[in-house]
A and B are shown apart, each in its own frame.
Chain A
Amino acid sequence: MRDFVSKLAFILVLAIVWELIRLTGRYPALLFPGIGSIASALWMERVDLIGRTLFSLRIIGIGLVTAVSLAMLATFMSFGGKIFAEVISDLMAIMHPLPGIAILPVAILWFGIGVRAILFVIVFSALWPLINHFYTGFRSIPINQLEVGRNLGLTGWELALKVMLPASFPHILSGLRTGWARAWQASVAAELVFGAAGGQGGLGWYLYKKRFMMETPGVFAGMLIIVLIGIGVEYLIFAGIENRTVRKWKTIIN
């Protein structure tokens, strides 16, 4: 509760500073809208905003589930065979430094303008950091725990699911956090760059439209939603998982 109050106070201070800057009148309202006009844009556009948000969340959800499954598969398989581990490690070296948005041109060529191209960029953006975290997690399992599993007769998939997965959970959780953030960034960035087709689009597309029509309060309203969802997911989902797992088991510090 105290945590919540202090965070609320922090947001309040930010809002006051924002308003004070606006009140100096040094910046035109078109570039620096007041909190009142942002709030009214939020209210006026609520139906559109909710629709866009749900659209974004849906494709990010699909993309993230796909990326996590692929990353898990790749990680398990790297531990199964040496050749596969080398292939994955080489792929990582090539792909990880590549910004997801940089493959957008290729995605458009392959899939055309539309949801599939955005999905491709999302999966690509989240996949490599996910593999990186999962792989690091699997490699930092206490060797004794792994050997207890082997001693019980566990091998292959069973060993991976019953021992390696929970033992590497701190890393898996931070991987999911990074993956989620990357997926969000990728979806917004992709829509900002080429918009959307057939009126189908998420929050990135919303920002794009509002900027195009110079409706600055709407741009800020869209950004606010993105931030709020980020905070919501962190506190409602990730912190919840953390409290029920690694914090409870004390496998992380703090």
Chain B
Amino acid sequence: MKTLLTVSNVTKVYETGKRKVIGVHNVSFDIRQGEFVSVIGPSGCGKSTLLRCIAGFERINGGSIHLNGRKVKRPEPNRFMVFQGLDQLFPWLTLKENIIFAMRVVDKGQGNFGERAEHYLELVGLQGFGDFYPYQLSGGMKQRASIARALSVKPQLLLMDEPFGSLDAFTRRAVHEMLLQVWKKTGVTIIFVTHDLEEAVDLSDKILIFSKGRLKGQIDNKLSRPRERVDSSYRSFLLKISGFLDSEGSDSLDSKELSAAEAKLAF
């Protein structure tokens, strides 16, 4: 698979008053076409900042981000973000209108928007809810609809910033299932930011571990799908990653060591 996104030596510094806070420090990695990549780390580790840099919402202070060889400068629909907040749908539009709004802005010209909107609602399991207003939906349905809207503009990269962080555990299982199916059907590349380790292991092919603004390691997740949390291979993989996360405080682990350690893991 060819490389879709190249992040090289990206640094993002925030200025809060007189103090400078480093949000992301010299981070580099590649993401291949069609991959499902999770980014994990504790709150404030810079993982959301990194995602916002990739989206183009934040200007980076150093390094570069390229999508398909083109430099990322500003927000564009080819990298579309789904946020954690349950208020990201436009409340003055129905679900269908929300999707049509997005398609119309991006496509400009004519198209069978209504039919296409229905297709995307069906994709996320919301067929029949097109005429509902956002306030009439549960949290899980709102996030499904936000994903449908994001997909409707055919992004090359779907950026997800803890999209299920506000949902309860039951709803979360259901939307995980849905997201994996959508991923399989559309082949879209996904970067998924979360602080929930199990969520990352459930979903992704690759896990990037962040701490204090630095990329601490990249671990390939080769567990076969569907993944069951009770499987022993799942448990041992989870243990390994939490081990890495715990040792991160000592700052002793760099990417190289991690991939060496990862190579020793037997699945």
Contacts and interface: CB of A to CB of B under 8 A. Distances in A.
* A and B from one complex: yes
A151 B92 contact: no
Contacts of B80: 151
B55 A151 contact: yes
A166 B106 contact: no
A144 to B, nearest CB: 4
A167 B133 CA distance: 14
Nearest to B153: A152
A248 B88 CA distance: 18
B102 interface: yes
B81 interface: yes
Contacts of B83: 144, 147-148
Interface in B78-96: 79-81, 83, 85, 87-88, 90-92
Interface in B119-167: 133-135, 149, 153
Given A142-B85, A144-B83, A162-B105, A153 B77 contact: yes
A142 B88 CA distance: 8
Contacts of B81: 147-148, 151
B106 A152 contact: yes
Nearest to A246: B92
Nearest to A148: B88
A144 B133 contact: no
Interface residues of A, number: 20
Contacts of A208: none
B75 interface: yes
B75 A166 contact: no
| Chain B contact residues: helix, strand, loop or mixed | loop
Contacts of A251: 91-92
Contacts of A132: none
A142 B55 CA distance: 18
B57 interface: yes
Contacts of B91: 167, 249-251
B79 to A, nearest CB: 8
A151 B52 CA distance: 11
Nearest to A144: B88
Interface residues of B, number: 24
B76 interface: yes
B76 A153 contact: yes
Contacts of A147: 57, 75, 81, 83
Contacts of A153: 75-77, 105-106
A249 B105 contact: no
Interface in B225-252: none
Contacts of A154: 105
A40 interface: no
A117 interface: no
A150 interface: yes
Contacts of A151: 55, 57, 75-77, 79-81
A76 B61 CA distance: 29
Given A150-B75, A249-B133, A145 B87 contact: yes
Contacts of B57: 147, 150-151
Given A151-B81, A169-B92, A248 B133 contact: yes
Nearest to A250: B135
Interface in A134-160: 142, 144-145, 147-148, 150-154
A250 B87 CA distance: 12
Nearest to A158: B105
Contact of B90 (A145, A245, A248): A145
A117 to B, nearest CB: 40
A145 B88 contact: yes
Contacts of B85: 142, 144
Interface string A159-185: 000110011010000000000000000
A248 B131 CA distance: 13
28 contacts: A142-B85, A144-B85, A144-B88, A145-B87, A145-B88, A147-B57, A147-B75, A147-B83, A148-B81, A148-B149, A151-B76, A151-B77, A151-B79, A151-B81, A152-B102, A152-B105, A152-B106, A153-B75, A153-B77, A153-B106, A163-B90, A166-B90, A169-B92, A245-B92, A249-B133, A249-B135, A250-B91, A250-B133
Interface of B: 55, 57, 75-77, 79-81, 83, 85, 87-88, 90-92, 101-102, 105-106, 133-135, 149, 153
Given A151-B57, A151-B81, 15 more contacts: A142-B87, A144-B87, A147-B75, A147-B81, A151-B77, A151-B79, A152-B102, A152-B106, A153-B75, A154-B105, A162-B105, A163-B90, A166-B92, A249-B91, A249-B92
